[in-house]
Structure 1
Amino acid sequence: MITAVTTFKLPKPVTREEARSIFLSTAPLYRDVPGLFRKTYVLSEDGMTAGGIYFWNSRGEAEALYTAAWRARARDKYGADPTVTYFESPVVVDNVAKEINSRDE
């Protein structure tokens, strides 16, 4: 499993309410994306950094999303270039499902 963290250094701070509105406007784009099983939107306490934490089945599926078109859409929406950092996720604790997952790719 792969966790990808995206961040945007915003040109000016946004409030939680402004961020929520922006996030809700883009959330439908992430439904049914192959290999993506969860996305969590994030906003720093000072409102200067926004981003997402994405949970993927594989790195290839993650990389298929973060295209030049995705980056351009993010730049238009947030006024900042995104960064994407990938992490291996060998073990995931899921307290909702009451499971500990350790799937191999």
Structure 2
Amino acid sequence: MRPIILFAALSLIASPLAAQTAPPPAPSADTPVAVLVSIPIPAGVPRTAIADGMAKAVPQYRAVPGLVRKLFTIGDDGGFGGMYLFRTRAAAQAWFNDAWFARVAKTYGSTGKVSYYDVPVALDNAPLPESVAAK
């Protein structure tokens, strides 16, 4: 294959890839943010104890500034944590601060993994079943 033809063929293949890897535009300051948190369950702690602790923590989370919704989670991967929706990234980062990480490390003996996701669109189909709705 001639070099010019090879270059043209490669540019056709690379163009869609380049468009897919370009960084997304920065969110505005008022874009909501979803946060996924996972903390390893300490050895010997039963799932029921984790769930009981979550139910007891509901009043604390009702008072978190900027928090819209929290789903308490226990994963199949041996971790627990939650899925959060905050009004802004600043509100989320204010909650998941150095003190939060220190408390998690002291309480559970490991660090939590915190991942942030911009939320340009949100959908809420229906209320959760009564069996999981926080009281």
- Please give the TM-score of this superposition, normalised by the length of structure 2: 0.63
Indicate the residue corresponding to 1:44 in structure 2: 75
Instruction: Supply the RMSD in Å over aligned alpha carbons.
Output: 1.8
Paired residues, what number? 96
Larger radius of gyration: 2
Matches of 2:93 and 2:76, distance apart in 1: 28
Please report how far the alpha carbon of residue 61 of structure 1 lies from its aligned counterpart in structure 2 after TM superposition: 0.6
| Gapped regions of structure 2 (runs ≥ 5) | 1-31, 128-135
Given that 1:10 and 1:79 are in contact with CA atoms closer than 8 Å, whether structure 2 keeps it comes out as no
Matches of 2:119 and 2:64, distance apart in 1: 19
1:11-90 map, 5 Å: 11-12=42-43, 14-45=45-76, 48-90=78-120
Please report how far the alpha carbon of residue 42 of structure 1 lies from its aligned counterpart in structure 2 after TM superposition: 0.7
Secondary structure of the 1:41 match is strand
Indicate the residue corresponding to 2:28 in structure 1: none
The structure with the largest helix share of the pair is 2
Cα gap change, 1:89 to 1:36, in 2 (>3 Å): same
Matches of 2:59 and 2:101, distance apart in 1: 17
Please report how far the alpha carbon of residue 49 of structure 1 lies from its aligned counterpart in structure 2 after TM superposition: 0.6
Matches of 1:45 and 1:27, distance apart in 2: 22
Q: Percent identity?
A: 32
Cα gap change, 1:75 to 1:26, in 2 (>3 Å): farther
Please report how far the alpha carbon of residue 64 of structure 1 lies from its aligned counterpart in structure 2 after TM superposition: 0.5
Please report how far the alpha carbon of residue 38 of structure 1 lies from its aligned counterpart in structure 2 after TM superposition: 0.6
Q: Which has the higher contact order (CA 8 A, sep 6+)?
A: 1
- Please give the TM-score of this superposition, normalised by the length of structure 1: 0.78
Over residues 60-93 of structure 1, what are the superposed CA-to-partner deviations in whole Å (9 max), with x where a residue is unaligned? 0100001222122222332221111000111111
The structure with the largest strand share of the pair is 1
